[in-house]
């Protein structure tokens, strides 16, 4: 009989930014601590030369952004392993943070089609007609972003942003001559109004077949504030 609590099963996102070339080190430590996979993106610093940004890294070097999903039962162990292996207590090494996930789809092995977690944050909205938003992050194999975008538009979303990355998961990584082959990924960021966010997520899951093994993953984050959305007209 399982002794895992609801908190143990609640998935969280560990967001880590390190210097280019260090992502594999982060992923290896995370997997040993209980994480099941990761997605890596490329980025670059924006702080003035000779200074450090909020992300704990100087401006001069390219960065790797590692997104790691972990269950509540292992998230602290994974987070600690990343901090230790990258020596994040030292300047110019990187940063790692844990983000709560509102809804999760595509993790077929957890036994639920969509894992829903209660909203934790309570935002004080002074404007009576202020629009609330959620951010849906979908990670699929390269070349499948169009069907995700189409599904989200059909459910009421206005568009999205596509980022390219590479994946490393226990169920999807193969090898050639003892070298890991990390499949390319498309990451789609879709900002949607909260009253249709569940509808959009469901549409994406169905169209991208995220309930099938190896098809991808999608999760929803609660947006507290949003700026720059000037194209909406009602």
| Residues 25-39 pLDDT 10s | 999 999 999 998 888
Per DSSP, the residues of 70-139 read: EETTTHHHHHHHHHHHHTTTSTTS-EEEEEE-SEEE--GGGT-SEEE----------STTPPPEEEEEEE
Residue 52's CATH number:
3.30.70.120
By residue range, what is the domain housing residue 66?
6-100
With CA atoms as reference, report the closest residue to 133 among 227, 62, 50: 227
Provide mean pLDDT across the span 151-170.
Answer: 84
With CA atoms as reference, report the closest residue to 220 among 181, 183, 185, 194: 194
Question: What pLDDT does residue 64 have?
Answer: 87
Both 60 and 111 in one domain: the answer is: no
Residue where one domain finishes, among candidates 67, 100, 133: 100
Question: What pLDDT does residue 6 have?
Answer: 58
pLDDT in tens, 110-130: 555 667 777 765 555 544 567
> Are 16 and 66 in contact, with CB atoms under 8 Å apart?
yes
Which residues pair with residue 139 across a beta bridge? 187, 217
Q: Which residues contact 112 (CB under 8 A, 6 or more apart)?
A: none
Q: Rounded distance, CA 19 to CA 6, Å?
A: 35
Please indicate, yes or no, if residue 230 is contained in any of the structural domains: no
Please indicate, yes or no, if residue 1 is contained in any of the structural domains: no
Question: What pLDDT does residue 218 have?
Answer: 93
With 50 as the cut, is the pLDDT of residue 102 above it?
A: yes
Q: Rounded distance, CA 145 to CA 187, Å?
A: 8
Total residue count of the chain as it appears in this document: 234
pTM of the model: 0.73
Both 72 and 107 in one domain: the answer is: no
With 70 as the cut, is the pLDDT of residue 59 above it?
A: no
The tokens 């020596």 sit on which residue?
A: 87
| DSSP SS3 for 27 | helix
Both 82 and 112 in one domain: the answer is: no
Both 114 and 203 in one domain: the answer is: yes
Provide mean pLDDT across the span 71-80.
Answer: 92
Both 62 and 120 in one domain: the answer is: no
Both 136 and 192 in one domain: the answer is: yes
Question: What pLDDT does residue 126 have?
Answer: 47
**pLDDT classification of 4: cutoffs 50, 70, 90:** low
With 90 as the cut, is the pLDDT of residue 152 above it?
A: yes
Both 69 and 89 in one domain: the answer is: yes
Higher pLDDT, 33 or 166: 33
| DSSP SS3 for 19 | strand
Provide mean pLDDT across the span 139-151.
Answer: 92
Both 109 and 191 in one domain: the answer is: yes
- Please provide the distance, in angstroms rounded to a whole number, between the alpha carbons at the two ends of the chain: 53
- Tell me the torsion sign for CA atoms 201, 73, 5, 118: negative
Both 84 and 151 in one domain: the answer is: no
Q: Rounded distance, CA 154 to CA 59, Å?
A: 40
Q: List C-alpha distances in Å: 231 to 95, 159, 193.
A: 34, 11, 13
Q: What is the mean pLDDT of the chain?
A: 79
């Amino acid at each position: 009989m399982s002794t895992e609590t609801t908190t143990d099963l609640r998935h969280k996102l560990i967001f880590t930014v390190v210097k280019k070339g260090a992502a594999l080190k982060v992923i290896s430590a995370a997997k040993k601590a209980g994480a099941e996979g990761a997605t890596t993106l490329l980025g670059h610093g924006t702080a003035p030369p000779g200074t450090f940004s909020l992300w704990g890294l100087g401006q001069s070097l390219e960065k790797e952004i590692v997104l790691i999903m972990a269950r509540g039962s292992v998230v602290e162990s994974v987070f600690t392993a990343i901090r230790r292996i990258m020596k994040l207590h030292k300047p110019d090494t990187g940063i790692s943070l844990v983000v709560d996930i509102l809804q999760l789809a595509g993790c077929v092995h957890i036994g639920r089609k969509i894992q829903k977690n209660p909203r934790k944050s309570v935002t004080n909205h002074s404007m009576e007609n202020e629009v609330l938003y959620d951010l849906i992050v979908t990670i699929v194999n390269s070349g499948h972003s169009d069907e995700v975008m189409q599904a989200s538009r059909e459910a009421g979303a206005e568009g999205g942003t596509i980022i390219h990355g590479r994946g490393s998961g226990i169920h999807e990584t193969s090898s050639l001559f003892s070298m890991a082959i990390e499949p390319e990924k498309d990451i789609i960021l879709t900002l949607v109004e909260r009253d249709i966010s569940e509808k959009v997520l469901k549409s994406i899951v169905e169209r991208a077949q995220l309930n099938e093994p190896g098809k991808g993953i999608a999760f929803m984050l609660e947006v507290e504030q949003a700026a720059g959305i000037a194209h909406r007209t009602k």
